[in-house]
Amino acid sequence: MAIGPFVRQLLGPFERSVSDIYRAVFVDLLVLAKQIKDQIPAENILEIGCGEGALTEYLSRIYSKAHLTGIDITPQVGRMFQGDLSRVLFKQQPVKDFVDQNQSCFDLVVISDVLHHVPWEMHQDFLADSAKALKSGGYLAIKDWESRSTPIHLLCYLADRYITGDRVKYKTLDQLRALIKAAFGEDCINKEIRIRPWSNNIVFFVQIQ
């Protein structure tokens, strides 16, 4: 059972601040956006599984001239976004439907903390579809949370499982690498970086030819 929506309703005007604090316990989204920008210049960015727009907001600030599109299957897509909506578009649409209409349009596709929400048997198709949105030479930035036997990992699992209500399932570092290599080839990972405050936060940069 998900307690998240119920608690959020109770929070009223404090919802945004509390949700920012909750997320910051696990990952520094500002640093994530800055690190992605340090690696990849981009004018047209797609965030897949953008949720309510938390990372989209940081990306839109850091990539201050870029156009951003956020897609998600949730009806709440982009709900919490605060920023320049003249450069940002949100759509509730599955990735497959979106890329059918938007092939080879983007310089950068960001997938942050989404894979562990997607059933494992769908991962290959999900990544392959995501890459179709990229122009030749464009980059995927795939951020996820690495499964480890540590207290913070247990806390992250419990928070995700019972606050979002999703049957989340995390991969180990080797499983994440194997997934990405199976989708895009043995030498596809250009760089891996960690994001504070926990080294479970890992980003893979993959260039698509």
Ligand X SMILES: C[S@@+](CC[C@H](N)C(=O)[O-])C[C@H]1O[C@@H](n2cnc3c(N)ncnc32)[C@H](O)[C@@H]1O
Q: State the minimum distance, in angstroms, from the CB of residue 115 to ligand X.
A: 9
Start-to-end CA distance of the chain, whole Å, equals 42
Residue nearest to ligand X (CB): 51
Q: State the minimum distance, in angstroms, from the CB of residue 104 to ligand X.
A: 20
| CA nearest to 43, candidates 124, 173, 138 | 138
- Nearer residue to ligand X within complex by CB, 185 or 199: 199
Residue positions counted in the chain = 209
- Nearer residue to ligand X within complex by CB, 54 or 189: 54
Q: Pairing relation of β-strands 44-48 and 88-92?
A: unpaired
- Give residues with Cβ within 8 angstroms of 195, minimum separation 6: 27, 28, 31, 32, 35, 143, 201, 202, 203
Based on the number of CB atoms within 10 Å of its own CB, is 151 exposed (0-12), middle (13-18) or buried (19 or more)? exposed
- Nearer residue to ligand X within complex by CB, 114 or 180: 114
Q: Which DSSP helix (H) or strand (E) runs through 137?
A: strand 134-145
- Nearer residue to ligand X within complex by CB, 72 or 107: 72
Q: State the minimum distance, in angstroms, from the CB of residue 186 to ligand X.
A: 26
- Nearer residue to ligand X within complex by CB, 114 or 203: 114
Cβ(204)–Cβ(184) below 8 Å: no
Residues binding ligand X (CB under 6 A): 48-51, 54-55, 72-74, 94-95, 112-114, 117-118
Q: State the minimum distance, in angstroms, from the CB of residue 184 to ligand X.
A: 19
- Give residues with Cβ within 8 angstroms of 59, minimum separation 6: 33, 36, 45, 47, 66, 68, 110
Q: State the minimum distance, in angstroms, from the CB of residue 50 to ligand X.
A: 5
